[in-house]
Chains A and B, each alone.
Chain A
Amino acid sequence: MAQVRDNLDTQKHATPQADIMDLSGTDHEIKGRSLWADARTRFFRNRAAVLGLVVLILVALFATFGGLIAQYEPQYVDFTLMGANAYKGVPSIETGHYFGTDVDGRDLFARTVVGTRISLLVGLVGALVAVIVGTLYGATAGYLGGKTDQIMMRFVDILMSIPFMFVLILMLVIFGRSILMLFIGIGLISWLDMARIARGQTLSIKGKEFVEAAVATGVSPLRIILRHVVPNLLGIVIVYATLLVPGMIIFESFISYLGLGIQEPMTSLGALINGGTSQMNNGTLWMLLYPLFFFLITLFALFFVGDGLRDALDPKDR
Chain B
Amino acid sequence: MADGGAPPKAPLVEVRGLKMHFPIRSGLLRRQTGAVKAVDGVDFDVIEGETLGLVGESGCGKSTCGRAVLRLYDITDGSIRVDGQEIGRAGQGRLRRMRPTMQMVFQDPQASLNPRMTVADIIREPLDEHTKMSRREKREKVLELMDAVGLNRRFAGRYPHAFSGGQRQRIGIARALALNPKFIVCDEPIAALDVSIQAQVVNLLEDLQEKFGLTYLFISHDLSMVRHIATRVAVMYLGRIVELAPREALYAEPLHPYTQALLSAVPEPDPLAEAGVKRIILKGDVPSPANPPKGCNFCTRCPRVMEICREVDPASQEVAPGRFVACHLYDGSPVPKVVAGPGPAPRSEPQPETTTTTAGETAAPNNEQRLIEPQQGERDR
> B162-217: which have CB < 8 Å to A?
162, 166-167, 170, 172, 175, 179, 196, 200
Per-residue 0/1 for B104-121: is the Cβ within 8 Å of any A Cβ (1 yes, 0 no)?
101110111111111100
Tell me if B129 and A219 are in contact (CB < 8 A): yes
> A207-246: which have CB < 8 Å to B?
208-210, 212-220, 223, 227-228, 231-232
Cβ-neighbour of A214 out of B125, B150, B159 (below 8 A) = B125
Q: Which B residues are CB-close (under 8 A) to A208?
A: 111-112
Which 8 pairs across A and B sit closest by C-beta, in order of nearness?
Answer: A218-B99, A32-B158, A209-B112, A218-B96, A231-B116, A209-B111, A210-B114, A216-B104
Tally of A-B residue pairs with Cβ under 8 A?
115
Cα A317 to Cα B119 with chains together (Å) = 17
Cβ-neighbour of B115 out of A19, A35, A213 (below 8 A) = A35
Interface residues on B, range: 35 or more
Cβ-neighbour of B72 out of A17, A20, A27, A215 (below 8 A) = A215
Q: Which B residues are CB-close (under 8 A) to A17?
A: 150, 200
For the complex formed, measure the closest distance between the CB of B141 and the CB atoms of chain A, giving whole angstroms.
15
Tell me if B156 and A29 are in contact (CB < 8 A): yes
Cβ-neighbour of A20 out of B98, B107, B162, B170 (below 8 A) = B170
Q: Which A residues are CB-close (under 8 A) to B155?
A: 30, 32
Q: Which B residues are CB-close (under 8 A) to A13?
A: none
Q: Which residue of chain A lies nearest to B166 when distances are taken between CB atoms in the complex?
A: A20
B347 at the interface (CB under 8 A from A): no
A23 at the interface (CB under 8 A from B): yes
Cβ-neighbour of B116 out of A28, A30, A34, A217 (below 8 A) = A34
For the complex formed, measure the closest distance between the CB of A242 and the CB atoms of chain B, giving whole angstroms.
20
Chain A residues with a Cβ under 8 A of chain B: 16-17, 19-23, 26-36, 208-210, 212-220, 223, 227-228, 231-232, 317-318
Tell me if B72 and A212 are in contact (CB < 8 A): yes
Tell me if A30 and B106 are in contact (CB < 8 A): no
Q: A216-B103, A220-B96 are in contact. Are A35 and B161 (CB under 8 A)?
A: yes
Cα A28 to Cα B104 with chains together (Å) = 31
Q: Which A residues are CB-close (under 8 A) to B166?
A: 20
B147 at the interface (CB under 8 A from A): yes
Cα A219 to Cα B98 with chains together (Å) = 12
A-B contact pairs, 27 of them (CB 8 A): A19-B167, A20-B151, A20-B167, A20-B170, A29-B157, A30-B158, A32-B157, A33-B159, A33-B162, A34-B116, A34-B118, A35-B116, A35-B159, A36-B116, A208-B111, A209-B108, A209-B112, A216-B72, A216-B104, A217-B129, A217-B175, A218-B98, A218-B126, A219-B129, A227-B114, A231-B117, A232-B114
Q: Which residue of chain B lies nearest to A212 when distances are taken between CB atoms in the complex?
A: B72
Cα A213 to Cα B115 with chains together (Å) = 13
Q: Which A residues are CB-close (under 8 A) to B106?
A: 209, 212-213
Q: Which B residues are CB-close (under 8 A) to A218?
A: 95-100, 126, 129-130
Tell me if B126 and A217 are in contact (CB < 8 A): yes
Cβ-neighbour of B107 out of A23, A209, A223, A317 (below 8 A) = A209
Q: Which residue of chain A lies nearest to B115 when distances are taken between CB atoms in the complex?
A: A35
B39 at the interface (CB under 8 A from A): no
Q: Which A residues are CB-close (under 8 A) to B159?
A: 32-35
Tell me if A27 and B154 are in contact (CB < 8 A): yes
Q: Which residue of chain B lies nearest to A26 when distances are taken between CB atoms in the complex?
A: B153
Chain B residues with a Cβ under 8 A of chain A: 67, 70, 72, 95-100, 102-104, 106-108, 110-119, 125-126, 129-130, 147, 150-159, 161-162, 166-167, 170, 172, 175, 179, 196, 200
Q: Which B residues are CB-close (under 8 A) to A212?
A: 67, 72, 104, 106, 112
Q: A32-B118, A218-B100 are in contact. Are A22 and B72 (CB under 8 A)?
A: no
For the complex formed, measure the closest distance between the CB of A33 and the CB atoms of chain B, giving whole angstroms.
7
Q: Which B residues are CB-close (under 8 A) to A34?
A: 116, 118, 159
Tell me if B115 and A28 are in contact (CB < 8 A): no
Q: Which residue of chain B lies nearest to A221 when distances are taken between CB atoms in the complex?
A: B92
Q: Which residue of chain B lies nearest to A216 when distances are taken between CB atoms in the complex?
A: B104
Q: Which A residues are CB-close (under 8 A) to B119?
A: 32
Cα A16 to Cα B118 with chains together (Å) = 25
Q: Which B residues are CB-close (under 8 A) to A16?
A: 196
Cα A231 to Cα B110 with chains together (Å) = 17
Q: Which B residues are CB-close (under 8 A) to A216?
A: 70, 72, 99, 102-104
Add 13 more A-B contacts to A216-B72, A218-B126, A231-B116 (CB < 8 A): A20-B150, A20-B167, A21-B152, A29-B156, A30-B154, A30-B157, A35-B115, A212-B112, A213-B106, A215-B72, A218-B96, A219-B125, A318-B115
Q: Which B residues are CB-close (under 8 A) to A210?
A: 111-114
Q: A32-B162, A34-B159, A209-B106 are in contact. Are A228 and B126 (CB under 8 A)?
A: no
Q: Which residue of chain A lies nearest to B96 when distances are taken between CB atoms in the complex?
A: A218
Cα A213 to Cα B112 with chains together (Å) = 7
Cα A216 to Cα B97 with chains together (Å) = 11
For the complex formed, measure the closest distance between the CB of A271 and the CB atoms of chain B, giving whole angstroms.
42
Cα A219 to Cα B117 with chains together (Å) = 15
- Of the candidates B95, B157, B166, the one having the most CB atoms from chain A within 10 angstroms of its own CB is B157
Tell me if B154 and A26 are in contact (CB < 8 A): yes
Q: Which B residues are CB-close (under 8 A) to A27?
A: 154
For the complex formed, measure the closest distance between the CB of B96 and the CB atoms of chain A, giving whole angstroms.
4
Cα A31 to Cα B118 with chains together (Å) = 10
Cα A249 to Cα B157 with chains together (Å) = 41
Cα A109 to Cα B106 with chains together (Å) = 62
Tell me if B116 and A31 are in contact (CB < 8 A): no
Q: A17-B150, A30-B155, A32-B162 are in contact. Are A217 and B125 (CB under 8 A)?
A: yes
Tell me if A29 and B161 are in contact (CB < 8 A): no
Cα A232 to Cα B150 with chains together (Å) = 28
Cα A232 to Cα B106 with chains together (Å) = 20
Q: Which residue of chain B lies nearest to A214 when distances are taken between CB atoms in the complex?
A: B125
